Structure 1
Amino acid sequence: MPQTVRFASPDGTPLVASHTPAPPGRPAVVVVPGYQSRKENHADYAEALSRAGMAALVLDVRGHGESGGTLDENALDDVIAALDWLAQRHTGPLGLRGSSMGGYLSVLAAERHRRVRAVVALCPAQAETLRRRAEFDLPDLPELADNVMRPGVARGYWHARGDETVPWQGTFALAQVTPQPRRLRVVLGGDHRSLQHDPRVIDETVAFLGEHLR
């Protein structure tokens, strides 16, 4: 059963997440929701990870859900803190799965945290999209294409061709500069949020994580 857990980001911002444990030695995955979303919206993905024998930690990023603070340039530190929390409790490999802004943060976190071995990004926001659409000031957002070079990380990208918020072409271009192992799937139709709860995409992404978190 999922358990609500609390910890802090490095700047002291209180964070809340939902933790679904797994047997010792099994992989563990941080799930990062998108802008204006929250952990409850991704409970189905945590359940899918659990059925596959993986632990899940679904995070409320600062300024979202039950976590404190307001969304700012330290949101990436929240994801790193969640990975550290898992690393202290799980000896198996770590992964990430994020949607939209959460996909953006997940790709960046995978570049920075040495325990991460795989990341899945659904319709990942690009820096320019966040600068244009988000209701906060982030002048120095890193570009994803500059943060996919750490070896030993499998990176999977899924994007809906009908995404009205983040153009799929940006993810296509990102995949072209991402080293192997990588996967790109552009799904016909859909919209910016449709892949999050698409049963086929859930199965595919859980399988991708399971394959690369052995």
Structure 2
Amino acid sequence: MLFELLQALSSLDTVQRITIYALPVIFAITVHEAAHGYVARYFGDMTAEAAGRISFNPLRHIDPIGTLLIPGLTLLVGGILFGWAKPVPVNFGRLRHPKRDMLWVAAAGPGSNFIMAIFWALAIKVSPLLPAFVSTPLALMGTAGIMINVVLMVLNLLPLPPLDGGRIAVSLLPHRLAWQFAKVEPYGFIILLVLMFTHVLGAILWPFIMTVLQLISWLFF
């Protein structure tokens, strides 16, 4: 069922796809960032709270380019749906155990995406119980929600600073290796863009994305 809905989603015209994807994209990106702030506060860093960023209000997190323009362009030209929100400020030095707690703060974002993917799967499950004029758009929106959250989860687990996977790697590596690996961070976003535009990023991520989609399909459909 899930993969049939994915095919139906891909057959929509551009305006329809943007309409269906808009809400899932905004919440996938903003909840991801808010989750970092909540977990950072739990482990002792109040930076995000002081900046007013521990909120599920999308307006506090939307980046006009990363949350709106880039996802819109990727929907137009195809490929992996890509985007970002304004990063939630985290001062890892203020965490009670900076190196250890960094792992949980970083993992909170991808973890929230997985939870949202489950939420959207449940929305698809209940959609047949609703009137037809609601059930079809909800099923398609749920499919878009699963897709964008799985993509963001897998993308952010890539072990490349400053992605969450990179921070998780820094947390797990021995101190000397972690210090050397962290030096990649200033160049991480450039590396990511190069990988994306050369289509290497898609080749790396798609097997993992498909594995998670198949897992969700097996669990719920």
Which structure carries more relative contact order (alpha carbon 8 Å, separation 6+)? 2
The two structures have a TM-score, normalised by structure 2, of 0.31
Q: TM-score, normalised by structure 1?
A: 0.32
Q: Which has the larger radius of gyration?
A: 2
Higher helix proportion (structure 1 or 2): 2
